[in-house]
Amino acid sequence: MSRPVLGAVLIAAFTSAAAQSPPDAPAYVLNPQRAWQNWTLNCQGCHRPDGAGSDGTAPSIAGTVSKFLNVPGGRDYLGRVPGVATSPLGNADLADLMNWMFWRFDKEHLPADFEPFSAEEIGRLRTQPLRLEASPMRAALLKKADESGVSGK
C-alpha cells in the first residue's frame, strides 16, 4: 500500500472513530476522543468494536474488564497482559485508554473507589509482561471475582 493510500486509510479510521466516539466520559478519562482513537487503531482489531473479543486471539472485555479491579492481583494483571505490556502507545496514552475502557465496556463492575491508572503505574507494570500464564491467570482472577459476587457502583 502506498503512503498516500495508507494516510487516507488512517484518516478515514480517525474520522470513523470520531463519529462513533461516546460524547461523554468521566473526568478521570483525560482525553476520551484520543482514547477512542487509540482503541480503534490498537485494540479493536482483536477485541472487536464492542469488546466481545475474538476466539483464539483476544478475550472479551465487555462486561468483565472492571471485575479485575475488584480482586487482589487483578489490577496488576491488566497492566501486564501482552496487549498492554507490548503496546506501541506511550504510558500516558495507554493509562487513559485503560481508564476509558473500564467506563466504556464495563461500568457496572467498576469499584466505587476506583483509582484511575496513571502513566507511572502503567510504565511500572508493563516492564513485567505476562506471556503464556496470562490466560490461566485471567480465568483464576475472574473465578475469584465471580465467587466473591463482585458488583460495581
9, pLDDT greater than 80: no
**Domain at 3-147, CATH homologous superfamily:** Cytochrome c-like domain (1.10.760.10)
53: left (phi over 0), alpha (psi -120 to 50) or beta: left
Q: Where are the domains of the chain?
A: 3-147
**Cβ atoms 84, 98 nearer than 8 A:** yes
Q: What is the pLDDT of residues 20-46, one digit of tens each?
A: 555 578 899 989 999 999 999 999 999
**Cβ atoms 130, 81 nearer than 8 A:** yes
Average pLDDT of the chain, as a whole number = 88
Q: pTM of the predicted model, to two decimals?
A: 0.82
**How far apart are alpha carbons 63 and 152 in whole angstroms?**
11
The pLDDT assigned to 19 comes to 47
140, pLDDT greater than 50: yes
